[in-house]
Amino acid sequence: MIKNKFLEMIEQSNIANHKEYLSQVLRPAIDILRHTDAEPQLGCSRFGGAPDLPIGSEWPTYEKKPYRFLGQINFAEITSTERGLPSKGLLSLFVADDYDNEDDGYLEAFEDGYIHGIYIPETTNLETMMPPHSDIGKTIVIEFLPTIDIPYDEYQLKDWPFDDAQSDIYTEIRDSLHKSSDYLLGYPSHSTLAYDPTPGAEWISLLTVDSDESLEWCWHDGDKLMIFIEIERLKNLDFSKLKSDAG
C-alpha cells in the first residue's frame, strides 16, 4: 500500500519519467515516533535513560571507560512485515561519548568501537541497569511507523538521473515519506557529508537519529548519527560488529 501510494505520487510529479528507476531503489524503512507522555515499562523501546539488560549483566566499556546508553529497540513492537529485522528480541545500543572533556582518548563516531550493540533474543529476566559515573538523563518512549525510503542524495547512487530542478522535487518527495528524522533501515540521511557514509556494498543502514538537546545528543556539531550493519550479520541476529558515522 505504501509503495503504491508512492508510485502514484511520482506519476503526478515532474519526475514521472523516472518512476521505474525509483521503484528499483525503494527500501523499507520504519519511522521512530516519540511518545512523550508514556511511562517507560521494562523491556519497552526507548531513547535515553537506562537499558534493560539480563539480570547480572555488566555495563559495557571501551578503553576502560563506560559506554553511554543511546536507546533500545524491542523488535516485537514493530508491526511491519517487509522489514528485514528480527521479529522479537531487544537491541540495546551504546555510544562511546566523551565524558571528560580533558580526556583525548575518546572515539570519534566514524571509528570502530564507537557503537556497541547488545541483542537479547528473549525479553525475560531483565532488569533496568543504572549507568555508572553519570546521571540517568531523560527517557522517551518510542513507537514505530512503517514507511519506505529512497536515496538521500546523489552520493548514494552511481547514476543520479535528476537535474537541479528535478532534484528539488525529488528532495520534497523523499522528505514526505518520513514523519520523523529518526528511523530504522532505509537510507542514511545527514546534513553535511559529501559522500555515502555506508561502509560498503555488504552493509545497510540500521538506524539514523538526529541530535537532540533534551537527550543531550550532539553529533558533528548538531547533525545526525548513522549506524550500519552487515546484511549477513543482520540475518544471523548478530549485532556485535556495528559501524557508524556522523554529519
Domain residue spans of the chain: 2-246
* Cα–Cα nearest to 181, from 159, 210, 158: 210
The answer to whether the CB of 84 falls within 8 A of the CB of 149 is no
Residue 159's pLDDT is 84
Residues 6+ away with beta carbon under 8 Å from 136: 49, 50, 130
Cell triple for 125: 529476566
In one-letter notation, the amino acid at residue 205 is S
Residue 169's pLDDT is 93
Q: In terms of DSSP bridges, do strands 61-62 and 52-54 run parallel, antiparallel, or are they unpaired?
A: unpaired
pLDDT tens for the chain, 247 residues long, are 688 888 888 989 999 898 998 999 999 999 999 998 889 999 999 999 999 999 999 999 998 899 999 999 999 999 876 678 999 999 999 999 865 555 566 789 999 999 999 999 999 999 999 988 767 889 999 999 999 999 999 899 888 888 888 999 999 999 999 999 999 999 999 989 999 999 999 999 999 999 999 999 999 888 999 999 999 999 999 999 999 999 9
Residue 97's pLDDT is 81
Residue 7's pLDDT is 85
* Distance between first and last Cα of the chain: 33
In one-letter notation, the amino acid at residue 99 is Y
Determine the Cα–Cα distance for residues 167 and 173; give it in Å rounded to an integer: 10
What is the per-residue DSSP string for 164-206? Answer: HHHHHHHHHHHHHT-S-S-EEES----SS-SS-----TTEEEE
Overall CATH class of domain 2-246: mainly beta
